[in-house]
Chains A and B, each alone.
Chain A
Amino acid sequence: MMSFMALVSRDVRLAVRAGGGAALAVAFFAAAATLVPLGVGADLWLLAQIAGGVLWVAAVLAALLSLDRLFQADFDDGSLDIIALSPLSLETISVAKILSHWLTTGVPLTLVSPLLGVLFGLPAKAIAVLSLSLLMGTPAISAIGAIGAGLTLAIRRGGLILPLVVLPLLAPAVIFGAGSVLATLNTMPGGALALLAAYSLAAVLLAPFAVAAAVRLNLGG
């Protein structure tokens, strides 16, 4: 546990420092989401209808931006070799990496989402659902993103291939997340949040094994 917390605190510290990319993800999320009302115009009804979809897509893209820092820097400078030889298994290391990515990306995105919800003219209840869906869904983004980051580790400019690997796998999160906001808005019966929770739980439980396998492959390459 001590080793685990040491790794998480190291990665969180690196992400928050200059060049770490945590602030970048939030800034991208806010900037992208702010551009949409400017482009669509001041039709509040329309904005509210598309808010869930736009914010979820922006959140996924913002999280993707910072995925390459998950393993790439550690791999390039040899730190990953030393981390891999630590008392932690590669599976546990993957959990630590996913957790620190979520803490520095998923959590801040969730925290700024109410502000952007107001910008899109969402009623309070829909804003609450939006934030809740992001809170539940962003761990899946980090977990599945980590699989992509592990797989593309040894590829130069892997940053461009990463979205192609990860985005199809994240489609369910966007569908359920955006769907839950829309359902609340139009007072339709909603099962989307439950589906999102199930999807997220499965992703978080299974991804570390896939991530560890991918990293093991690249350490041997």
Chain B
Amino acid sequence: MQTPVTIEVQGLACTRGERLVFADVAFQLAKGGVLAVEGPNGAGKTSLLRILAGFIEPSAGSVCLVSGHERVREPEERAKLVGWLGHADAARSQLTPLELLRDFSALYRSAVDVRAALDRVGLATLASLPCRYLSAGQKKRLALARLLVCNRSIWLLDEPLAALDARGKALASDLIQEHRAAGGIAVVATHESLNLESFELRLGGQIP
């Protein structure tokens, strides 16, 4: 079970290179909530996720996480609750999937079984092959396994379905479903349907 968390976002605006990307974004997600963020290229999906993770300061508005009974506002504190899957897959070519997951497992002080996570995403037989030989889809599966190993309650996923085959896509949806069933939260930027019940946020109306 994850620590129950909620996420509250109010009046969020993002400016990148003096261009206003989005403004007045507000949503609230409670335990088990999944938010699908949609919108055309450049609508600010990745920027929104990076703001939630605390990498970027929003130009207006606030992000507040409630973990247990604690309100967490500081970006550096928020970071400790976030599981991140970006479009860069962090599969270092010299490391094997097993090594990579073990490193992140130790770094995140996680108790999740690394081999079970590899098995779950269908990479058990490739555990000892350097990542440079993995395909784009396999790297994405590895990133999903990393997400399981890091074991955080708030998942921020940037295009988790990209490069995955049909079974991979189903796997990603299943993992999100299991995560929410365990009480976690997910915010997912995607162009494709997640095939699960979720709230939707549409970015990218042209802002005058």
Q: Which residues of A contact B (CB under 8 A)?
A: 2-3, 5-7, 9-10, 13-14, 17-20, 73, 76-79, 81-90, 219-220
Most B-side CB within 10 Å, residue of A6, A19, A85: A85
Expressed in whole angstroms, the Cα–Cα distance for A76 and B76 within the complex equals: 22
Write out the residue numbers on chain A whose beta carbons fall within 8 Å of the beta carbon of B87: 78
Distance from A7 Cβ to chain B, minimum over Cβ atoms (Å) = 6
Contact A2 B106 (CB under 8 A): yes
Given A3-B109, A87-B109, also A79-B94 (CB < 8 A): no
The smallest C-beta distance from B16 to any residue of chain A, in angstroms, reads 9
| Of the residues A2, A6, A81, A88, contact of B90 by C-beta under 8 Å | A81
Interface check B79, CB cutoff 8 A: yes
Q: How far is the CB of B77 from chain A (nearest CB, A)?
A: 11
Known: A82-B146, A85-B79. A220 touches B88 (CB 8 A): no
Least CB distance from B5 to A in Å reads 15
**A-chain residues with CB within 8 Å of residue B76 when the two chains form the complex:** 89-90
The distance in angstroms between the C-alpha atoms of A3 and B56, with both chains bound, is: 24
How far is B84's CA from A119's CA once the two chains are assembled, in angstroms? 52
Does B150 reach chain A (CB closer than 8 Å)?
yes
Q: How many residues of B contact A (CB 8 A)?
A: 30
Those 10 A-B pairs whose CB atoms lie nearest each other, nearest first: A78-B88, A6-B106, A79-B90, A78-B90, A10-B103, A220-B56, A6-B107, A17-B94, A78-B86, A86-B107
CB atoms of B90 and A82 under 8 A apart? yes
Interface centre among A6, A77, A81, A88 (most CB of B within 10 A): A81
Closest residue of chain B to A84 (Cβ to Cβ) is: B79
Residues 63-100 of chain B, each 1 if its beta carbon lies under 8 Å from chain A, else 0: 00000000000001001101110111111101100010
CB distance from B151 to the nearest CB of A (A): 12
CB < 8 Å neighbour of B55 from A76, A84, A88: A84
CA distance A2 to B80 in the complex (A): 16
Across-interface contacts of B104 in A (CB, < 8 A): 82, 86
- Chain A residues with CB below 8 A from B90, complex form: 77-79, 81-82
Bound together, the chains give a CA A81 to CA B106 distance in angstroms of: 16
Interface contact B86-A81, CB-CB below 8 Å = yes
Distance between Cα atoms of A18 and B94 in the complex (Å): 8
Which residues of A are found within 8 Å of B108, using beta-carbon distances? 3, 86-87
Task: Please name all residues of chain B whose beta carbon is closer than 8 Å to the beta carbon of A17 when the two chains form the complex.
Answer: 94
Partner of A77, one of B50, B53, B89: B89
Given contacts A83-B107, A86-B108, A220-B55, contact A77 B94 (CB under 8 A): no
Contact assessment for A219 and B106 in the assembled complex, using a CB-CB cutoff below 8 Å: no
Q: Are B95 and A14 touching (Cβ within 8 A)? A: yes
Measured between C-beta atoms, what is the minimum distance from A105 to chain B in Å? 18
17 additional A-B pairs beyond A20-B94, A79-B90, beta carbons within 8 Å, are A2-B109, A3-B109, A7-B103, A19-B94, A73-B92, A77-B89, A78-B86, A78-B90, A81-B55, A84-B79, A85-B79, A85-B80, A85-B150, A86-B104, A86-B107, A89-B76, A220-B57
Docked Cα-Cα span, A82 to B155, in Å, equals 12
A-chain residues with CB within 8 Å of residue B95 when the two chains form the complex:
14
**Candidates A14, A20, A76, A88; contact of B107 at CB < 8 Å:** A88
Cβ contacts under 8 Å, A219 to chain B: 55
Residue of A nearest to B81 (CB): A85
Residues in chain B near residue A5, CB distance under 8 A: 106
> Which of B80, B84, B92 sits near A14, CB closer than 8 Å?
B92
Instruction: Report the minimum CB–CB distance from A154 to chain B (whole Å).
Output: 13
Residue in B closest to A80 when the chains form the complex, CB atoms:
B90
Give the Cβ gap from A174 to chain B, nearest Cβ, in Å.
33
Residues of B within 8 A of A7 (CB): 103, 107
Known A-B contacts A83-B107, A86-B107, A86-B108; the reply to A78 vs B94 at CB < 8 A is no
B92 pairs with A3, CB closer than 8 A = no
Q: Inside 8 A of B84's CB, which chain A residues have their CB?
A: 81-82, 85
> Chain A residues with Cβ under 8 A from B80's Cβ?
85, 87
- Provide the bound-state CA to CA distance between A80 and B156, in Å: 15
- Could you list 24 examples of A-B contacts with CB < 8 Å? A2-B106, A3-B107, A5-B106, A7-B103, A10-B103, A13-B99, A73-B92, A76-B88, A77-B88, A77-B90, A78-B86, A78-B89, A81-B55, A84-B79, A85-B79, A85-B80, A85-B152, A86-B108, A87-B80, A88-B107, A89-B76, A219-B55, A220-B50, A220-B57
